[in-house]
Structure 1
Amino acid sequence: MLSKAASRLPAPSILRQNSCIRLFATQVKAADPDTTLAKLQDDYSKASPFSKVPGPSKLTFLRTLLPGGKYFKMDFDQIIKYQREEYGDLFKLPALFGGVEFIASHNPNDFQTIFRTEGQWPERTTFQTLAYFRKKVRPDIYGKYAGLGNAQGKEWGDFRSAVNPAMAQPRNTKIYIPKVDSVAVDFVRRILEIRDPKTNQVPETFEDDINKWTLESVALIAMDTRLGLLAQTYNDRSAKLIQASKDATRLVFDLEFKPSLWRIFETPDFKRLMTAFNAITDLSDEIIEEAKVRIEKKSKDSDENEQGVLEKLLKIDPLLAKVMAIDMLFGGIDTTSSAFTGLLYLLARNPEKQEILRQEILTILPQKDSPLTVENMTNLPYLRACLKESLRIHPPANANVRLAGQNLVLSGYQIPKGTPIAMGSSLLYMDEKYFPNAEKYEPERWLRKGSTPASTKAANPFIFLPFGFGPRMCIAKRFAEMEIETAIARILRNFHVEWHHSDLKFRFTSVKVPDGKLMFTFKDIVN
């Protein structure tokens, strides 16, 4: 019998949909829905039944995860890799401890079928722990809105339609470039403060500084607030917010992805997660209320084109604005930090690529104190290619997840409507079949040759979708892109970045995070 913590929740989550670091969704030409369906779907009645989809039994899978099992303490992405080797490109993973059975596909033709049939209101799996917290613990804040991550159907459609004008239009991103640049400038100053004066190497706590830069940038966009995290000392509230975000990220992974008994009774980790969620909610609410006061004091005649995300959303619905701001905070910290770290590491390991990028940056930043502007940030093709290539090699997340929008045929099998499907693109990113020289960091593969991006000659356009596709594509991708590009531009204008240690590994939590100390060396550029 389920505890109250699980008895009235939506379908539980096993995989996290690529959360909000999906910057570069490949553009795929739309097709006529009827024609697409006719070409992509076989006769459902003639396909192999769902029961025949290969995969381990519940008991077999559980044994592999327990002490002594071959997957015990193994990262989830490695488990998926071995399952694919055993069962093929499409397989089924069973439900454990109140979880849900789901399908894992590594066939890009399946990806196309799923995205082309997802409908007006695409559905995905939800965080069951987050759903419980918002519905049962803090309905005072979240009672009306589940948020973009957990909402489904028309509720999601209405929420997305309300926030799209403030967040999805490019002109609303551009007004933040000078503000986000000021955070990047502070980040450079922070590097100068903490690096060793003799070796130019940053301390092993540098990952904390990256997280501070990310949180500072996200809070500036989502809450119209500078938290002062990159100062030598910062206030207790900001420290608590960072710690709560770290705790929540780790605990969500443990409780949602791994076998756990929290759905039967409130485990210690479940209680700690509720505490972390409460801290994030209360601290964010406090910051947003302060921002509201500042915004209300501004002139009513202020230029609408210069209004930030929070100000625009407050005019629509103050509660909606608050929920969206908290979602941006929770969804944007670890994913952006992961993407930034992957890019910085690959540039450090590939100095020739770093130098090509630096020369491009010098065209817009001839002096170290030259400003970054809307105009000079528009023409940085190599920077964007560098980021795209780093997302291929070190993607923050492993899969896009959808519930089947209708009865589908995937890889010859019947997949009933509503079945959770994880589209495991990250393994394909390193597959020579789709990306020649897949192990090499080659930003040039994303640069246009004539009128066609070089990558599309080798890769199915539905493989590289790090921020999703269609109506449910990550709404904050442009903001994350801007944050990373701005920080990298400032860093490479000031430093030669080097790596003098063994290869950096990444491990999978709710996103991929570095598994090691980020002890980069930052050598000054003379001019």
Structure 2
Amino acid sequence: MLLKRVCQNQTTNTYQNAFFRLFSTQLQGANTEISKEQTSDYNKAIPYSEIPGPSSFTFFRSLLPGGKYFKKELDEITQGHRQDYGDLFKFPSIFGSFEFITTHRPEDFQTVFRTEGQWPVRTVLDTMVYYRTKVRPDIFGKHAGLGNAQGKEWGEFRSAVNPAMAQPRSTKIYIPKVDTVAADFVKRVCQIRDTRTKEAPENFEFELNKWALEAVALIAMDTRLGLLSDNYNERSANLIQASKEAFRLFFELEFKPSLWRFFRTPNFKKLMNSFETITNISCEIIEEARERFNNRPEGSRSEDPGVLEKLLEIDPLLAKVMAIDMLFGGLDTTSSTVTVLLYLLAKNPDKQNTLRKEVMTILPNKDSLLTVENMKHLPYLRACLKESLRILPPVAGNIRSAGQDIVLQGYQIPKGTPVVMASNILQKEDEHFPDAGKFEPERWLKRDGATAPAKSAHPFIFLPFGFGPRMCVGKRFAEMEIETLIARIVRNFQIEWHHPDLKFTFTTLNVPADKLLFTFRDIVE
């Protein structure tokens, strides 16, 4: 049976790799054609050096006390530069960080994505590259991971993990398991909310972080960490603490002026320690899971193994790297998205009621189970998720390095130039989404057979998971985790917000700047 499953995996892998190569080859051919068309235009375009933008000194001074952007959020800084320089401008390098172009035109987004080539290049987190190459090459020397690998190395890694990660079937088998995590979170809400007011405690954001880590660890490492109980073990506590610390320090070291590239600052050392904790604990948990798989009786082996088991059969080191990448990619992004959606539903009770009616059709009782079949019948839930990602996406936009010499808004953009596509700003403009300030899930639904209104926007504006060969490999898992939790919460509670409008701040992600004081009132059946 094991031999049969391995052969099936190899066959699937062969087809997946063939598809990946075919897609890449077709895209590369299209890029060649585009390149021929653009060569003369590129030579006639305005030189890259003339792209408007502040100097390094001017930009750095604007961030200091008394400066125009002192303590301003990333959105405010970007919007301010757009007003000063237009829809295309250059952010300079500071203290060794990379120089990049920011554009606010969807036509530019399309040009960048359509010319990115067979192996798209995206900027990496220098601190993580340092840790993986200098500190732990024993784990990451062979596989840098999806976020840090480039070129052929990235292509081979992506081809290897696609059969386990990218197929719809891979996600569906986890719905019952992830539903148990969501149900446990509902019980947790009942335990921690105020018995009189039904308001969540001030640390509710941390509770959402624990849910996110519990869910992603179940998928990435085939393990329940027990974070949704009062007495989770020290190892699980260390893992979530290190994960939160790493995300906080990312912003300080990667996106703010920092001297860590010249000498090892205290924050840099803290970040390395957080990486080390995450790596060691993750590897320990994966080895335990591997031992479980190997020691099962032959007859009890699953005909449809999970992500970790599939990856371990391919390469144990690859499995460890992918699991750690999933933790980093799926922790704060999913909890941030859930936070936004809960808030928008609380502020729009009519939309929440519409969603609840839909959820009640598949969960007639609070203890009804979510299944692969009934999860197909939640179009309004998916529309709510899309609308929340439009209004407040977890990240500011997509970034790619130009795959070839291209022209954007009349300017030369040399191959390799990092380009930030500020889609998050365009998504909130009436020009692209009428009444953009309103939470309108209906804009994503067909009306009387007609195309959904949101489809009239430029197709390259709303790409929350990226586009092309390098789009997020965990997209299906993230959507499934979020939809499962929201369905469970809406089925059990009326979500309310009785405080001033919740503000969000951008670190590495959009995160709430205030306490998440949601009220969760029981639904009376």
**TM tier relative to shorter chain:** over 0.9
Q: Hey, what does 2:204 align to over in structure 1?
A: 206
Q: Hey, what does 2:376 align to over in structure 1?
A: 378
Deviations 1:288-317 (A, max 9, x none): 111111111234456665211000000000
Report if aligned partners of 2:31, 2:117 keep a CA contact under 8 Å in 1. no
Deviations 1:409-441 (A, max 9, x none): 011100000001101100001111101101000
Q: What is the deviation of 1:36?
A: 5.6
Which SS does the other structure have where 1:452 is aligned? coil
Which SS does the other structure have where 1:438 is aligned? coil
Q: Hey, what does 1:364 align to over in structure 2?
A: 362
Report if aligned partners of 1:172, 1:305 keep a CA contact under 8 Å in 2. no
Aligned: 1:246 with 2:244: yes
Q: Hey, what does 1:284 align to over in structure 2?
A: 282
Aligned: 1:314 with 2:312: yes
Q: Hey, what does 2:96 align to over in structure 1?
A: 98
Query: CA–CA distance in 1 between the matches of 2:467 and 2:301?
Result: 33
Query: CA–CA distance in 2 between the matches of 1:470 and 1:317?
Result: 25
Query: CA–CA distance in 2 between the matches of 1:342 and 1:516?
Result: 12
Query: CA–CA distance in 2 between the matches of 1:91 and 1:152?
Result: 26
Q: Hey, what does 2:454 align to over in structure 1?
A: 455
Aligned match for 1:393, one of 391, 394, 397: 391
Q: What is the deviation of 1:33?
A: 4.9
Which SS does the other structure have where 1:173 is aligned? helix
Q: What is the deviation of 1:501?
A: 0.5
Alignment CA distance shift 1:324-1:233 (3 Å): same
Which SS does the other structure have where 1:43 is aligned? helix
Q: Which runs of 5+ in 1 are unaligned?
A: 1-29
Q: What is the deviation of 1:330?
A: 1.3
Query: CA–CA distance in 1 between the matches of 2:47 and 2:237?
Result: 53
Q: What is the deviation of 1:359?
A: 0.3
Q: Hey, what does 2:11 align to over in structure 1?
A: none
Query: CA–CA distance in 2 between the matches of 1:322 and 1:196?
Result: 40
Aligned match for 1:482, one of 462, 480, 483: 480
Deviations 1:224-247 (A, max 9, x none): 000000012111111111110111
Report if aligned partners of 1:47, 1:412 keep a CA contact under 8 Å in 2. yes
Which SS does the other structure have where 1:229 is aligned? coil
Q: Hey, what does 2:321 align to over in structure 1?
A: 323
Report if aligned partners of 2:38, 2:406 keep a CA contact under 8 Å in 1. no
Note the aligned Cα RMSD (angstroms).
1.6
Aligned match for 2:296, one of 298, 301, 324: 298
Q: TM-score, normalised by structure 2?
A: 0.93
Q: Hey, what does 2:84 align to over in structure 1?
A: 86
Which SS does the other structure have where 2:81 is aligned? helix
Query: CA–CA distance in 1 between the matches of 2:271 and 2:236?
Result: 18
Alignment CA distance shift 1:186-1:407 (3 Å): same
Letter matched to residue 347 of structure 1:
L
Alignment CA distance shift 1:310-1:183 (3 Å): same
Which SS does the other structure have where 1:225 is aligned? coil
Aligned: 1:343 with 2:341: yes
Q: What is the deviation of 1:37?
A: 5.8
Deviations 1:244-265 (A, max 9, x none): 0111001011100000000010
Q: Hey, what does 1:6 align to over in structure 2?
A: none
Q: What is the deviation of 1:77?
A: 2.4
Letter matched to residue 247 of structure 1:
E
Which SS does the other structure have where 1:77 is aligned? helix
Q: Hey, what does 2:350 align to over in structure 1?
A: 352
Aligned match for 2:106, one of 95, 105, 108: 108
Query: CA–CA distance in 2 between the matches of 1:136 and 1:452?
Result: 52
Q: TM-score, normalised by structure 1?
A: 0.92
Q: Hey, what does 1:191 align to over in structure 2?
A: 189
Query: CA–CA distance in 2 between the matches of 1:506 and 1:461?
Result: 26
1:139-150 equivalences in 2 (<5 Å): 139-150=137-148
Deviations 1:385-420 (A, max 9, x none): 000000011110001010000000011100000001
Alignment CA distance shift 1:37-1:277 (3 Å): same
| Percent identity between the two aligned chains | 66
Deviations 1:147-201 (A, max 9, x none): 0000000000000000000000000100000000000000000000011111111
Alignment CA distance shift 1:92-1:116 (3 Å): same
Q: What is the deviation of 1:71?
A: 1.1
Q: What is the deviation of 1:139?
A: 1.0
Report if aligned partners of 1:346, 1:390 keep a CA contact under 8 Å in 2. yes
Aligned: 1:273 with 2:279: no
User: Which segment is superposed worse, 64-73 or 95-104?
Assistant: 64-73
1:152-167 equivalences in 2 (<5 Å): 152-167=150-165
Which SS does the other structure have where 1:91 is aligned? strand
1:61-72 equivalences in 2 (<5 Å): 61-72=59-70
Report if aligned partners of 2:56, 2:92 keep a CA contact under 8 Å in 1. yes
Which SS does the other structure have where 1:401 is aligned? strand
Which SS does the other structure have where 1:343 is aligned? helix
Which SS does the other structure have where 1:493 is aligned? helix
Query: CA–CA distance in 2 between the matches of 1:41 and 1:382?
Result: 46
Aligned match for 2:254, one of 247, 253, 256: 256
Report if aligned partners of 1:125, 1:403 keep a CA contact under 8 Å in 2. yes
Report if aligned partners of 2:216, 2:327 keep a CA contact under 8 Å in 1. yes
Query: CA–CA distance in 1 between the matches of 2:40 and 2:220?
Result: 45
Letter matched to residue 355 of structure 1:
N
Deviations 1:13-33 (A, max 9, x none): xxxxxxxxxxxxxxxxx9955
Letter matched to residue 65 of structure 1:
L
1:389-468 equivalences in 2 (<5 Å): 389-449=387-447, 450=449, 452-457=451-456, 459-468=457-466
Which SS does the other structure have where 2:399 is aligned? strand
Task: Report 1 or 2 for greater relative contact order, CA contacts < 8 Å, sequence distance ≥ 6.
Answer: 1
Report if aligned partners of 2:45, 2:407 keep a CA contact under 8 Å in 1. yes
